[in-house]
Amino acid sequence: MYQKAYGQKGAARGDKDKESAQELFDKLKKATSSECHSLLKKHLTEERFKALKDKKTKFNGRLEDCIRSGCINLDSGVGIYACDPEAYTTFALVLDEVIKDYHKVDKLDHPEPDFGDTSKLGFGDLDPSGNMIVSTRVRIGRSHDSYGFPPVLTKEDRVNMEKDTVKALNTLTGDLKGKYYPLEGMTAETQKQLTDDHFLFNDHDRFLREAHGYQDWPTGRGIYFSDDKKFLTWVNEEDHLRFISMQSGGNLGEVYTRLVNAVNQLQKSGLQFAKRKGLGYLTFCPSNLGTTLRASVHIKIPKLAATPDFKAFCDKLNIQARGIHGEHTESVGGVYDISNKRRLGLTEFEAVQEMRKGVEAVITEEKKLAGN
């Protein structure tokens, strides 16, 4: 059975993290609004800080575990993580405001999951010419419902979660059947190749590092590949689980359908995922809550990306542009990662439709600028 992780060893804080909530908050307060634009800075008022600074979750998670990354990395966009699933209740005073602001909703009334009917999607290849979209990827995150998130996890927790996950993944059949590769023991060369090919994660994100995302690295982490490498699972990266469907080209219909099939099969595997009424599926970062779904294309848009209004163009369509090696990376050769920005307050099907419409608008605009 799934082990209850809370109340065992308390938060897995390292010695170097002696900074109290007060010291961290002082750093945030000192930062001017021109040097720090995070949602944490905007919503963690003095009054809210005072109300929350001494609270503790049943996993022994504290406010400092949630805000450390955003107070040290003042260039954060969000700046706050949930130390465990209960943080969404214990620290709701600040987290609810951050969630509403990020996902652009007035109320936290996320709908029940709805992936739509994949036999009647109404979309397929977004770039039949094959000239613009390099690859397409859809991912969702899931958390085991009886464990905390990275700041409160122990090495043993991660190893136990890994065992439960691999057992479930080994029940997958058909195109989804594959093999799990633990990071421990994987050569540096293989890791680099898999990362360069956009399959594997690494421990290079300073935001996640300060949030304690890399404690006991690489223990308990790994990657599952289907035999054709189109369905993957990341184990204990930022979230306990990330289910990913990806392939070359622009066929969003195929990529999405594969992910939905995987979700349907995994629902029968016995894993229980953390979910809360009004918030949907719970994740470490509040930006991923709800559907947890990020549908993206790597797309060549040198003309549009060079315009001064590129960000505003994306914002208007609720899409986000990232570099091609993941969040906080740069574009290479005019290729950008374009994805839906909102994950909460809409269904999975609506989130993927928001991305599709955004990508279609991006293609139209790029063609217009190129004079085609």
Q: Which residues bind ligand CIR (CB under 6 A)?
A: 69-70, 76-79, 207, 238, 285, 287-288, 327
Site for ligand ADP in 30-89 (CB under 6 A): none
Tell me the Cα Rg of the chain: 20
Task: Mark the segment that binds ligand ADP (CB under 6 A) among 41-49, 73-81, 87-95, 325-333.
Answer: 325-333
Contacted by 137, from ligand CIR, ligand ADP, none: CB < 5 to 8 Å by type: ligand ADP
d(CA 193, CA 196): 5
Contacted by 322, from ligand CIR, ligand ADP, none: CB < 5 to 8 Å by type: ligand ADP
Our CB check for ligand CIR shows the closer of 178 and 345 to be: 345
Q: Which of 41, 62, 139, 221 binds ligand ADP (CB under 6 A)?
A: 139
Contact letters for ligand ADP, residues 235-274 (x by CB under 6 A):
-------x---x----------------------------
Contacted by 136, from ligand ADP, ligand CIR, none: CB < 5 to 8 Å by type: ligand ADP
Our CB check for ligand CIR shows the closer of 76 and 226 to be: 76
Report how far apart, in Å, the C-alpha atoms of 337 and of each of 126, 137, 305, 348 are: 14, 10, 11, 19
- The DSSP secondary structure of 8-39, one letter per residue, reads SS-----TT----HHHHHHHHHHS-TTT---H
d(CA 289, CA 83): 14
Cβ 339 to ligand CIR shortest distance, Å:
11
Under rule CB under 6 A, residue 298 binds ligand ADP:
yes
Our CB check for ligand ADP shows the closer of 98 and 324 to be: 324
Q: Whose CA is closest to 201, among 83, 341, 326, 69? A: 326
d(CA 340, CA 15): 38
d(CA 165, CA 181): 12
Q: Which of 296, 320, 331, 347 binds ligand ADP (CB under 6 A)?
A: 296
Rounded to 5, what percent of the chain is helix, strand, coil? 35, 20, 45
The structure tokens 């953390």 sit at 274
Cβ 45 to ligand ADP shortest distance, Å:
29
The structure tokens 């709800």 sit at 290
Contacted by 262, from ligand CIR, ligand ADP, none: CB < 5 to 8 Å by type: none
The SS3 assignment for 161 reads: helix
Cβ 140 to ligand ADP shortest distance, Å:
9
Our CB check for ligand ADP shows the closer of 45 and 329 to be: 329
| 3-state SS track over 245-292 | EEEECCEHHHHHHHHHHHHHHHHCCCCCECEECECEECCCCHHHCECC
Q: Which of 65, 164, 337, 354 binds ligand ADP (CB under 6 A)?
A: 337
Contacted by 326, from ligand CIR, ligand ADP, none: CB < 5 to 8 Å by type: ligand ADP
Burial of 260 (0-12, 13-18, 19+ CB in 10 A): buried
Residues at the site binding ligand ADP, with contacts judged by CB under 6 A: 135-137, 139, 198, 242, 246, 294, 296-298, 322, 324-327, 337
